[in-house]
Amino acid sequence: GAGVSQSPSNKVTEKGKDVELRCDPISGHTALYWYRQSLGQGLEFLIYFQGNSAPDKSGLPSDRFSAERTGGSVSTLTIQRTQQEDSAVYLCASTPGETQYFGPGTRLLVL
């Protein structure tokens, strides 16, 4: 069946611009996670959505980062006023319970 999909696959932007990253989870998966993978920091948790509950935003690095999940399905991660240190691969994962399944990621480069 279809896996987790993410778009765009690559994004190049200029410092100070806003970007939106999209994640389409596996159908029926109730929970969705965003992670960031960067050279210096490895894989870091950003935010977690579970059903209709309030998201766990404890991993967001600054208030420039936000995310929403509409209709319990698609999620968008928004980074405002991008900085060079935001350059990383942003990974989305969905899960029906305990096991997380990852998308291919969005590679973000901030010039």
- Applying CB under 8 A, the residues found at the interface with another protein are 4, 6, 31, 33, 35, 42-43, 45, 48, 50, 56, 59, 91, 93, 95, 97-105
Nearer to another protein, 83 or 109 (CB): 109
Nearest distance, CB of residue 104 and another protein, angstroms: 4
Candidates 107, 91, 5, 106; CA nearest to 48 is 91
Closer residue to another protein (CB): 18 or 109: 109
Task: Using the Cα atoms of residue 39, residue 43, residue 46 and residue 51 in order, give the sign of their dihedral.
Answer: positive
- C-alpha 100: how far from its chain's center? 14
Q: State the minimum distance, in angstroms, from the CB of residue 70 to another protein.
A: 21
Question: Closer CB to another protein, residue 14 or residue 52?
Answer: 52
Dist. CA 92–CA 35, nearest whole Å: 6
Instruction: Give the 3-state secondary structure of residue 53.
Output: coil
